Structure 1
Amino acid sequence: MVQIGTDRLRVRPIEAADEPHVRGYAGREDFCPYLPVDPKQPETVVSYVRQQIQPEGLDSGTAIALAIVPGGVDRPVGTITVSVQPFPVPIGQLEFTLDPEYRGRGYMTEALESVLPMAFRDLGLLRICAASDVDNVDCQNVLERIGMHQTKRLPEYRTVNGEKRDAFLYVLDAQPATQ
């Protein structure tokens, strides 16, 4: 996978050297109350970050892990992973993170809009799915801006700080090839 982007924003394959930067923002109190990450328990931060930068299937070409690097910033401020889930047809699971300091600037929307067509093509996907905590309106807005549609509520999708949390399932289907 090649680097894509503009002077404003680059999306590139994530590297091992990026882990400390991602761990730095994922370990902050304001990172995301909707994920199984507890800054008071560093092992949860390490586990979550490693899952983001080395998703299952990365070595076999059934996953991609990318870093989001804004222009003028020398480190990743976000990640995007797409993993192919075992299913009779190829369906991708989309996950993404963004440093709270860089939210609200359109970086994630721009990055996802450039990455998803490539993920469909390179991973041979027919559909990409993403889950958003029912209370995470910002995430839901991003998913809707990139064309994903909410399809159903997933009861007790994730446990965060000992509490079962529901999520909404979002989907985006591959566009038919134009003739």
Structure 2
Amino acid sequence: MDGTDHLDRITLPVTTQRLSLRLFTADDLDDMHAYQGLESVARYLYRPPRTRDRCAEVIEKISAPTGWSKDGDELVLAVTRADAPGVIGEVVVKLAGAHAQQVEIGWALHPEHEGRGYATEAARAVASLAFDTLGAHRIFARLDVENTGSAKLCERLGMRREAHLVENDLDGERWGSEYVYAALVHDLER
């Protein structure tokens, strides 16, 4: 973005009223696999469910972020409840355009924890992190048009639907269409 590595400005864990967002550790393998291994979660991510071994590889990669200065740099945080052990999902911020300060945000939650506002609470926290600490000018989220829960989450955050990409991604033999939601700092309900 400005050549500065903003990751050193982040104090972890990021806490909300009910959640704690922190880096993944090797101890989170079973929890991650419990949701990333589900077809219902992978369906909206345009990839097959992750095996336990693949989850271990991912955790090894994301447990120590390398920087925040070039396109593709990302920070993936485990979502945990403040009142219970275990990881219930994850949120991600990805530097999609360093020069233009564009940051993609995303989330995945174990279906057992859906419908309680956890994803909205975690997404709101990571959106604030993107703007307040990581220097984003604009955040955006790409989601499958059939993922109505994530579309409603974007709207709850104050993001606007900017695009409808028709059959723009191929998952095996299924063409998927996407919505792109985006916000500037003054758009968000914080």
Band of TM-score, shorter chain: 0.7 to 0.9
Whether the 8 Å contact between 2:105 and 2:126 is mirrored in structure 1 is no
Please provide the CA RMSD for this pair.
2.9
The worse-fitting range, judged by mean Cα deviation, of 151-160 and 103-112 is 151-160
- Among 162, 169, 174, the alignment partner of 1:151 is 162
2-structure distance, mates of 1:130, 1:7: 23
Q: CA deviation at 1:32?
A: 4.6
What is the letter of the counterpart of residue 175 of structure 1?
A: H
Whether the 8 Å contact between 1:151 and 1:170 is mirrored in structure 2 is yes
- Among 158, 162, 169, the alignment partner of 2:180 is 169
Partner of 1:50: 58
Alignment length, in residue pairs? 172
Whether the 8 Å contact between 1:66 and 1:79 is mirrored in structure 2 is yes
2:117 aligned with 1:106: yes
Partner of 1:122: 133
Fraction of identical pairs, as percent: 26
Classify 1:135/1:74 alpha carbon distance in 2 versus 1 (closer, same or farther; 3 Å).
same
Task: Name the TM-score, length of structure 1 as normaliser.
Answer: 0.81
- Among 1, 21, 24, the alignment partner of 1:14 is 24
Classify 1:10/1:151 alpha carbon distance in 2 versus 1 (closer, same or farther; 3 Å).
same
Q: CA deviation at 1:35?
A: 2.3
What is the letter of the counterpart of residue 46 of structure 1?
A: R
Classify 1:158/1:22 alpha carbon distance in 2 versus 1 (closer, same or farther; 3 Å).
farther
- Among 33, 41, 44, the alignment partner of 1:23 is 33
- The gaps in structure 1 that reach 5 residues or longer are none
Q: CA deviation at 1:54?
A: 2.5
For residue 88 of structure 1, give the secondary structure of its aligned residue in structure 2: coil
What are the Cα deviations for residues 11-40 of structure 1, in whole angstroms up to 9, with x where unaligned? 22333432331122111243353223434x
Classify 1:58/1:175 alpha carbon distance in 2 versus 1 (closer, same or farther; 3 Å).
farther
Whether the 8 Å contact between 1:63 and 1:123 is mirrored in structure 2 is no
- Among 82, 106, 121, the alignment partner of 1:71 is 82
Whether the 8 Å contact between 1:64 and 1:83 is mirrored in structure 2 is yes
